[in-house]
């Protein structure tokens, strides 16, 4: 597994980028943490509202958005449940949630 990390100072630009990739079926959205809805029910407005509320908590931050992409060898075919577990562990160990 390789983690690719991108920083951004624009929540909307980062979120639009990710949303467009999901629409193209490039990545698969299967998990969303800290929302009160299942991943497939969380819309753009839900995401941006949550992120903007969190960003206000630390106005001194110059970079308020981190996009982490976890990438696997094409021969690895982990189940959705295993991917959720890997994602949760990665986020906890790197204190990203």
Instruction: Give pLDDT tens digits for 66-95.
Output: 888 888 898 998 888 898 899 889 888 887
The residues near 71 (Cβ < 8 Å, ≥ 6 apart) are 1, 2, 3, 4
Instruction: Give pLDDT tens digits for 2-39.
Output: 999 888 878 888 888 888 887 887 777 666 777 777 77
Q: pTM of the full predicted structure?
A: 0.67
Could you say which DSSP state residue 78 is in? -
Measured CA to CA, the distance from residue 39 to residue 27 in angstroms comes to: 14
Domain locations along the chain = 2-93
C-beta of residue 29 within 8 angstroms of C-beta of residue 41: no
CA 30 to mean position of chain CA atoms: 10
């Amino acid at each position: 597994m390789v983690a690719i990390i991108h920083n951004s100072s624009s929540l909307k630009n980062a979120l639009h980028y990710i949303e467009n990739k999901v629409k193209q079926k490039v990545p698969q959205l299967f998990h969303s943490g800290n929302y009160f809805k299942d991943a497939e029910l969380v819309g753009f407005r839900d995401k941006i509202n949550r992120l903007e509320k969190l960003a206000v908590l630390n106005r001194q931050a110059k970079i308020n958005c981190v996009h982490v992409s976890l990438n696997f060898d094409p021969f690895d075919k982990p189940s959705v449940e295993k991917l959720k577990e890997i994602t949760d562990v990665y986020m906890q160990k790197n204190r990203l949630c």
